[in-house]
């Protein structure tokens, strides 16, 4: 809830019911981007990976799960902060297993690692978009994040 207000405030909006604003409230928040049956929110504030999980949950969403080349391309075009990292819904456990998802496409794991990644450089267990690919990074780093949610018809 706090995060939602922060996000809206930094967008100069704050039009949700929680704002107490009087007037029409659009059920489809304009700060979400639609793409192929999902909608996406690109955060305007920074947080740890776990804080990002909570921020998405507070919005009824989850950190983005990348299931296709098309979806990765969409992210590449829409996550505009070129030299910043944005958390996605993928994490490594202490035994080196990937938690979350890694989808199969045509029998091969669909992943978009940056060249040389994941390198687990100084305990990097959380995955972030970095430019147009993925990098493993520390879970405590303060980064942007991307939420995803099934797109309900308006």
Which of 104, 122, 152, 154 lies at the binding interface for ligand SIA (CB under 6 A)? 122
| Strand, coil or helix: 33 | strand
Q: Total residues contacting ligand SIA (rule CB under 6 A)?
A: 9
Question: 63, 86 in Cβ contact below 8 A?
Answer: no
**Which range touches ligand SIA (CB under 6 A), out of 6-14, 27-35, 104-112, 118-126?**
118-126
Which of 51, 136, 143, 148 lies at the binding interface for Ca ion (CB under 5 A)? 136
- CA 114, 98, 109, 67 dihedral sign is negative
* Neighbour count for residue 79 (Cβ, 10 Å): 24
Question: 33, 78 in Cβ contact below 8 A?
Answer: yes
Q: What is the nearest approach in angstroms of ligand SIA to the Cβ of residue 52? A: 14
Question: 21, 15 in Cβ contact below 8 A?
Answer: yes
| 46 near ligand SIA, judged by CB under 6 A | no
Which of Ca ion, ligand SIA, none interacts with 125 (beta carbon under 5 to 8 A by kind)?
none
Residue with tokens 């296709």: 68
The residues that touch ligand SIA, with contacts defined as CB under 6 A, are: 85, 117, 119, 121-122, 124, 135, 137, 141
The residues that touch Ca ion, with contacts defined as CB under 5 A, are: 117, 119, 121, 124, 135-136
């Amino acid at each position: 809830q706090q995060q939602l207000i922060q996000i809206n405030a930094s967008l100069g909006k704050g039009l949700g019911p929680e704002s107490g604003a009087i007037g029409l409230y659009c059920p489809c928040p304009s700060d979400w981007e639609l793409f192929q049956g999902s909608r996406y929110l690109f955060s305007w504030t920074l947080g740890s990976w776990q804080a990002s999980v909570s921020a998405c949950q507070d919005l009824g969403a989850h950190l983005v799960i990348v299931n296709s080349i098309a979806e990765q391309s969409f992210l590449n075009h829409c996550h505009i902060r070129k030299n910043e990292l944005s958390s996605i819904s993928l994490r490594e456990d202490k035994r080196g297993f990937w938690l979350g998802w890694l989808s199969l496409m045509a029998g091969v794991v669909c992943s978009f690692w940056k060249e040389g990644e994941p390198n687990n450089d100084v305990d990097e267990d959380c995955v972030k978009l970095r430019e147009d690919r993925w990098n493993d990074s520390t879970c405590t780093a303060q980064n942007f994040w991307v939420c995803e949610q099934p797109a309900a018809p308006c």
